[in-house]
């Protein structure tokens, strides 16, 4: 087999066999196939596409290129959830305890954040003592005992993806659907869950800006999951503005804990219940999402879901009293309001800019060695469709700098205020099975 022939075959729009795809991935991972040939193939795939079978074969080859997490010691059907990334996305801290409160095991591998979207682990570390650096044995024991554990991504998962993603990044081939889908799914599939719920974000603050593109990506990923024997469902959800009102670390944990206590932050509660319902159905706990939702709402009302959050935090060495009394979470020194310069209605909030403003405060990393300040962040006071008077605060910046000018400027530019009222964006666009 020759790499040259594989490139030409794809360039001409033909379908690659599983053997050819495996030959490419194995050869590229071990250094036998050079970057220039891998780039040529990535570009051919960009223009010619790949069908479902080819994409599944590419994903499996990338999964097989490294370590696979073996979760077979965990009792029950394990469901994982993955979000394509959004600002203010604290759904994991809600759905984890919620689903676990039904007795369904949730075993999550998570990462840290870089840039404008924060990482799950960074946010959890706002809780004093909490650690995701637990041994495999502790992870398995915690899931079996508490039905929920979150571990940092360690090991060498899908190294072929790591190498190929870096190459795509510099050769203009990131935005090929089959390459994005296989990249995301290879890491998920190597993490060992039995079923996966994908939260595919759509809108100005998302990787995919239109509903059509997000649905196409979701379909690719669902096909891969199902082809490779994992039940997979995708929820297409809005990211035209941050999710909920809080963006940061400690403040996001606070907002999530409040949802588990019954607070009604509409978009955040709704999306969390939808994802948790889909997870519970995939795990076989319920036949229909509606029945699952009823049970999940009941576990919010009766306090079981909130108690599960505290139990999980304590099992991973965190200070459970911070969950009982949220004012004990890290607090910033200054609370700086950013006032509206004109009155009207909020028409747009550029989610990415809000994320960047939070990063400037220290809530995120600009470079991978930056240290996170868990106490800082942003509270949105106005969301799309809200009426605002001139001088009324759009957001409050929680800052350890007295005058966080860069963040103030970024927030001002993020908001568009018009005289006409715009309806709040649709939260859930579609569910793809």
Known catalytic residues are 82, 161, 168, 183, 187
Extract the tokens encoding 320. Answer: 């459970």
Question: Toward ligand URA, which CB reaches closer, 180 or 346?
Answer: 180
How far are the Cα atoms of 22, 58, 197, 308 from residue 17, in angstroms, in the given order? 9, 10, 29, 47
Shortest distance (Å) from residue 388 CB to ligand URA:
34
Q: Is 249 helix (H, G, I), strand (E, B) or coil?
A: coil
Shortest distance (Å) from residue 224 CB to ligand URA:
13
CA distance 201 to 117: 13
DSSP 3-state helix, strand, coil percentages of the chain (rounded to 5)?
A: 45, 15, 40
Nearest CA-CA partner of 109 in 64, 77, 143, 75: 143
* Residue 231, φ and ψ in degrees, nearest 5: -65, 125
Question: Toward ligand URA, which CB reaches closer, 52 or 284?
Answer: 52
How would you classify the pairing of strands 148-152 and 106-110? Answer: parallel
Shortest distance (Å) from residue 161 CB to ligand URA:
7
Question: Toward ligand URA, which CB reaches closer, 165 or 415?
Answer: 165
Beta carbons of 318 and 146 less than 8 angstroms apart:
no
CA distance 101 to 124: 19
Nearest CA-CA partner of 283 in 203, 362, 196, 201: 196
- Burial class (CB within 10 angstroms; exposed 0-12, middle 13-18, buried 19+) of 209: middle
Beta carbons of 202 and 426 less than 8 angstroms apart:
no
* Cα dihedral 348→397→121→317 (10° resolution): -140
Question: Toward ligand URA, which CB reaches closer, 365 or 374?
Answer: 365
Shortest distance (Å) from residue 179 CB to ligand URA:
6
Find all residues with CB under 8 Å of 301, minimum gap 6, and list them. 262
Shortest distance (Å) from residue 236 CB to ligand URA:
16
Shortest distance (Å) from residue 175 CB to ligand URA:
9
Shortest distance (Å) from residue 222 CB to ligand URA:
16
Question: Toward ligand URA, which CB reaches closer, 235 or 313?
Answer: 235
Q: Which residues bind ligand URA (CB under 6 A)?
A: 165, 174, 179-180, 183-184
Shortest distance (Å) from residue 102 CB to ligand URA:
29
Question: Toward ligand URA, which CB reaches closer, 149 or 181?
Answer: 181
First-residue to last-residue Cα distance in the chain: 37
Question: Toward ligand URA, which CB reaches closer, 174 or 431?
Answer: 174
CA distance 348 to 367: 28
CA distance 374 to 87: 16
User: Quick one: angle between helices 136-146 and 304-315, nearest 10?
Assistant: 160
CA distance 140 to 70: 10
Shortest distance (Å) from residue 84 CB to ligand URA:
7
Beta carbons of 77 and 105 less than 8 angstroms apart:
yes
CA distance 243 to 269: 10
Extract the tokens encoding 378. Answer: 């942003």
DSSP 328: G
Question: Toward ligand URA, which CB reaches closer, 81 or 374?
Answer: 81
Question: Toward ligand URA, which CB reaches closer, 1 or 166?
Answer: 166
């Amino acid at each position: 087999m020759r790499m040259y022939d594989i490139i030409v075959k794809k360039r001409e729009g033909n379908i690659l066999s599983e053997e050819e795809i495996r030959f490419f991935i194995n050869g590229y991972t071990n250094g036998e196939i050079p970057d220039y040939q891998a780039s040529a193939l990535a570009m051919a795939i960009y223009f010619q596409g790949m069908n479902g079978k080819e994409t599944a074969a590419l994903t499996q080859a990338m999964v097989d290129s490294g370590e696979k997490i073996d979760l077979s010691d965990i009792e029950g059907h394990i469901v994982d959830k993955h979000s394509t990334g959004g600002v203010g996305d604290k759904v994991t801290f809600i759905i984890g305890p919620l689903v676990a409160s039904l007795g369904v095991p949730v075993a999550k591998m998570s990462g840290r954040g870089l840039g404008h979207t924060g990482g799950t682990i960074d946010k959890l570390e706002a809780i004093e003592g909490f650690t995701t650096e637990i041994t495999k044995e502790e992870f398995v024991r915690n899931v079996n005992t508490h039905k929920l554990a979150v571990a940092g991504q360690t090991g060498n998962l899908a190294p072929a993806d790591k190498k190929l993603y870096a190459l795509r990044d510099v050769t203009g081939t990131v935005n090929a659907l089959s390459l994005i889908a296989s990249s995301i799914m290879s890491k998920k599939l190597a993490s060992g869950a039995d079923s996966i719920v994908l939260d595919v974000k759509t809108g100005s603050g998302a990787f995919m800006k239109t509903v059509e593109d997000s649905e196409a990506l979701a379909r690719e990923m669902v096909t891969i999951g199902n082809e490779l024997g994992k039940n997979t469902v995708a929820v297409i959800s809005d990211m035209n503005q941050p999710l909920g009102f809080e963006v940061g670390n400690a403040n996001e944990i606070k907002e999530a804990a409040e949802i588990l206590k019954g607070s009604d932050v509409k978009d955040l509660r709704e999306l969390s219940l939808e994802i948790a319902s889909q997870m519970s159905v995939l795990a076989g706990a319920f036949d229909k999402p509606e029945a699952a939702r009823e049970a999940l709402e009941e576990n919010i009302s009766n306090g079981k879901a909130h108690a599960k959050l505290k139990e999980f935090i304590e099992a991973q060495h965190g200070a459970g009293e911070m969950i009982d009394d949220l004012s004990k979470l890290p607090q910033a020194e200054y609370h700086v309001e950013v006032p509206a310069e004109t009155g009207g209605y909020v028409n747009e909030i550029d989610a990415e800019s809000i994320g960047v403003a939070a990063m400037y405060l220290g809530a995120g990393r600009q470079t991978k060695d930056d240290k996170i300040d868990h106490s800082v962040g942003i509270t949105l006071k106005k969301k799309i469709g809200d009426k605002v008077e001139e001088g009324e605060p759009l957001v409050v910046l929680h800052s350890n700098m007295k005058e966080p000018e860069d963040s103030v400027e970024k927030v001002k530019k993020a908001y568009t205020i018009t005289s006409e009222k715009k309806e709040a964006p649709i939260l859930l666009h579609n569910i793809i099975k």
